[in-house]
Structures are given as structure tokens and as C-alpha cells.
Amino acid sequence: MEKKNMLVLFGSPRPGGATARLLHEFLQEVDSEFIRVTTFDAYRGNYHPCIACGYCQTREACVFPDLDEFDRELRAADYLVIAAPVYHLSFPAPCKAVMDRWQRYFEARFSMGIRPPIEKPKTAAFLTAYGSGNSEGAHMMTRQLELAFTVLNTKLEHVVEWPHTDQTGISEVPPEVIEKAHQAALAMTRKT
């Protein structure tokens, strides 16, 4: 049996922080015998932001080649996982820079008429941690992903939130959050 592919976009500056721990819990339920996981770290990759140069309006590419490997992995992926904390009601800047580069897929669809711009359908999960108890930022980020995913041939099926990290700290992931993360991973990959 050929392995399925999971692409993870990790968008936190803290490799040992709450978002990383939430992602770790999620990945605990992903069977590496059947699923190959590839992670792109938005902070460590130092990816260029979109400069709205118009290059992708006439070709299926970006003027910057630094995300070409991400593009190959995205096109091959069966599953897409976005793991990012809430920063001022949105994604941290390096993560958002990667997402803004998805403009190439919007241009492929709307400027060049390629439908869908990414042929292989995907199931997605969004994992997020935030310091407050207010979930508004997580909901806004979820909506951003849902809209972007309409062009990426991707359906967001699982959202796992870890709130109150400022008050409770991150020394232990709450059992209910662990359970949600595990259940999301199992449900997402159950067809494997």
C-alpha cells in the first residue's frame, strides 16, 4: 500500500510552545507506517512575502522559488495541517507570509482559468493555541482558511483550540484538548 502524504505548516516561533505541543499530540495518532508527514516551519524557512508582482498571473509559478518544495508537497498532499497560535486575532506574520503566497493558486484559477488549480483534493485540520479565553481570533483564522481552501481543493474538517494558555501555562496540555487533537487526527486519517 502506498503511503498517503500529510503536509504540516507550522507557524509558531516557539518550537516547544503550546502550538508545538498541540501539534505533537495530534501527530501522536498519525500512523507513520501509512502516512508520510512533511513539516514546513514558517519561522525557520524565512520565506519571502508576496509582493503582488503579477508573475503568477501568466504562469503556474512564483517569482520566488523558496516555496517551490512547499508547492510540490501541497500538490501531493492528502492531508493539510495548519498549526499556528493566535496573534492579534490572526496568524503570525511568517505563517501569513506563506499563506499570502497562495495567491499563485488564486491567479491560476481566476487569471488563467485552471480549475481546480490544485488537482488532488485534501482534508485539512487547523490547530491553534491562544493565551486568552476569547475564541474570536481562532474563529477569524478558521474563516480565513475556509475561504483560502476553496481554491486549494481542500476542506477544513477539524479545528482544535487550546485556549487560556496565559492563565494555565503550557506545562501540561489539558486532557480535553489532547482528546480533541487525538480524535481529529484519527477522524482525518481514518480512510487510510
Q: What is the mean pLDDT of residues 95-104?
A: 98
pLDDT digits (tens, 9 = 90+) for 44-58: 999 999 999 999 999
Confidence (pLDDT) at 191: 60
What proportions of the chain, in percent to the nearest 5, are helix, strand and coil? 40, 20, 40
Per the prediction, the chain carries an average pLDDT of 97
CA distances from 97 to 28, 93, 128, 157, 176 (A): 28, 6, 17, 23, 31
pTM of the model: 0.97
> 1 pLDDT band (50/70/90 cuts)?
confident
C-alpha cell at 5: 502524504
DSSP 8-state class, residue 133: S
